Amino acid sequence: MALTNRSKQVAVRELTFMERLYLPAIIKGMMITLSHIFKRTPTVKYPDQIREMAPVYRGQHVLKRDEAGAERCTACGLCAVACPAEAITMESAERKKGEENLYREEKYARIYEINMLRCIFCGLCEEACPKEAIFLTDRIVPSSFTRGEEIFGKDLLVEAMNERIDVSKRQRPEVLEFKKDKRHLHNLTYQDARPKTTAHH
Amino acid sequence: MDSMLIYKALLTVGVFAVSLGIAAYLTWGERKLAAILQDRVGPDRAGPFGLLQPLADGVKMLMKEEMIPTKANKWLFIFGPSFFMLTACMTGAVIPWGSGITVDGVVYPLQVTDINIGLLYLLGVVSIGVYGIMIGGWSSNNKYSLLGALRASSQMISYEVAMGLALIALTMITGTLSLGEISKQQDAGLANVVYQPLGFLIFIICAFAETNRAPFDLPESESELVGGYHTEYSSMKLGFFLFAEYINMFISSAVMATLYFGGYNFPFQHELGLEGNTLAIIQTSVLFIKIAIFIFVFMWVRWTLPRFRYDQLMNLGWKVLLPLAIANIFITGIVMWAMGKLN
């Protein structure tokens, strides 16, 4: 059965006189090209004109700071576990006395690297994060000349205090609601999670 | 008489400058139109709307390294593009660009020379133009160039026959070979295309072939012959080949407008109540509008139709256009005899 009614039966036959004249076909073709004069060009002149991103666009990651400016990440490694492309690596360190203004939790990521060439921008790290620390933004990852430059460290990932990055688009009500859901283990706080897991065993 | 001589020299330079300037901007126009027909933007980086693009292209062409293949015949290699350019520029001499401007009772014609064999001169110059391509392609000592050159010469010869025969039917009506005279006749009567629609159709198809424009761009055919006759060319010598094509296009548009579409004349021009010089200026502008329309058709066809296969090209030239042109002569003769126009 035909999926559309556009298919035509092809047959080898002699061309009729009108077809052999070619001129009607040529004029028909020229009318098609002429009609394109009045069509809109879909071109976006990129560096001058930046196309609007879709609200769900997932681009370069950001590591958020809290309101006081302390890094939210606690180096739990859930993002790295969730990452299907294994693009995230990190090394944790313990917070020293007097560093409370720098790091929110007692443990923090000393090294946090995302290999942008491996990353598939699926957003699972963002979903896994219990601390609202990592988000995908609508920024495009810049190109580079070497592979090494595409491994982004904390210098490129952590947001600067004077130019904070807006992630409200990624914190939609559904997302916040999802994060509240206690059935998802990673959404539980440390104290909540401990008794439950021990109770099972 | 002396002032006339100086005027003619100035007019020659003027026609040269105008054809070169227009040809330069046709390269821009072609790219822009191609872009519009294909829903693209086209050149827009150099200047507003990319209007400085021809300048940038020219500078680029001049700055490129000059390459002459070791095995090429050096003199002929340089002679080819120069000759092609020369013949392209020469054709502008016989075209009447307007009816003439009167200053202090002296009429200054807007035509470099109104020789009584203008049409013959035009055909002659156009047909020796192919030597530029042939010599250029052959002296490159490259198989692709040679093939391109061979294609160019056989194509030119084939289509010149039909073109000449189409013009014979035209001269049967006009009774003159002078382009100035043909323009003036169309002021009194109707445009020649009314009497010679078939002749015009043959002429325009042959004009496409003569200028090596698509769908008859077999001598160049990038996809099969790399670049055809200009494969080995670089720098301004390549620029000359490409540039001359646009001059040819401009001139053949002017010839078509003059021969078949009334030249500088336009309908009801004497009913407007305008006096000599104003009318002359309007007439010249009208001619340029007609030329612009023909150039648009040239480009429009190029960006619509694919290239002919070589045997199709020869079939069309010898088996279709040639018999049609001969039939056109007979029909013209019979109609003229029936109307008692033969004397």
| Residue B206 and residue B160 in contact, taking contact as beta carbons nearer than 8 Å | yes
pLDDT, one tens digit for every residue, chain B (343 residues): 677 788 888 888 988 898 888 988 998 999 999 999 998 888 888 888 888 988 898 898 888 888 888 888 888 888 989 999 899 888 888 888 888 787 877 777 778 887 888 889 988 888 888 888 888 888 888 888 888 888 888 888 888 889 999 999 988 888 888 888 888 888 877 788 888 888 999 999 999 888 888 788 877 766 677 777 888 888 888 888 888 889 989 999 999 998 888 888 888 777 777 777 888 888 888 889 999 999 999 999 988 988 888 888 888 889 989 999 999 999 998 988 888 766 5
Q: How far apart, in whole angstroms, are the C-alpha atoms of residue A158 and residue A65?
A: 8
CA angle A152, A114, A95 (to 5 degrees): 90
CA-based nearest residue to A130, from A89, A191, A198:
A191
Give contacts of B40 with chain A, Cβ < 8 Å. Answer: 41, 43
Greatest Cα-to-Cα distance within chain A, rounded to the nearest angstrom: 95
Look at residue B343 and tell me if it is in a domain. Answer: no
Find, among A200, A126, A199, A135, the residue nearest to A165 by Cα: A135
Coil, strand, or helix at residue A113? strand
Containing B261, the helix (H) or strand (E) segment is none
Query: What is the 8-class DSSP label of residue A153?
Result: -
Residue A37 tokens read as 């004069």
Residue B287 lies in a domain: yes
Residues of A within an 8 Å Cβ radius of B: 26, 29-30, 32-34, 36-37, 39-43, 45
Number of domains in chain B: 1
Cβ <8 Å between B305 and A39: no
Tell me whether residue B267 is in a domain: yes
Determine the structural domain holding residue B161 and report its residue range: 2-338
Using CA of residue B1, residue B5, residue B11, residue B12, what is the dihedral sign? positive
Is B299 a domain residue? yes
Selection from B162, B204, B206 nearest residue B322 by Cα: B162
The secondary element (H helix, E strand) that includes residue B229 is none
B252 vs B68: CA distance, rounded Å: 31
**Closest chain B residue to the Cα of A48, Cα to Cα:** B45
| φ and ψ of A67, to 5 deg | -60, -35
Single-letter residue type at A52: E
Instruction: Specify if B6 maps to a domain.
Output: yes
Our CA-based measurement puts residue A52 at a distance from the nearest CA of chain B, in whole angstroms, of: 20
Full set of structural domains in chain A with CATH: 61-170 (3.30.70.3270)
A36 to chain B: which residues are within 8 Å by CB? 36-39
CB count within 10 Å of CB A17 equals 7
* Min Cα separation B78/chain A (Å): 39
Task: Enumerate the H helices of chain B as residue ranges.
Answer: 2-37, 53-63, 74-90, 118-139, 143-174, 179-188, 192-195, 197-210, 222-225, 235-260, 276-302, 310-314, 322-338
Interchain CB distance below 8 Å, B36 and A37: yes
Question: Is residue B123 one of the residues assigned to a domain?
Answer: yes
For residue B70, being part of any structural domain is answered with: yes
Nearest Cα of chain A lies from the Cα of B319 at a distance, in angstroms, of 13
pTM of the model: 0.77
Asked if residue B30 belongs to a domain, the reply is yes
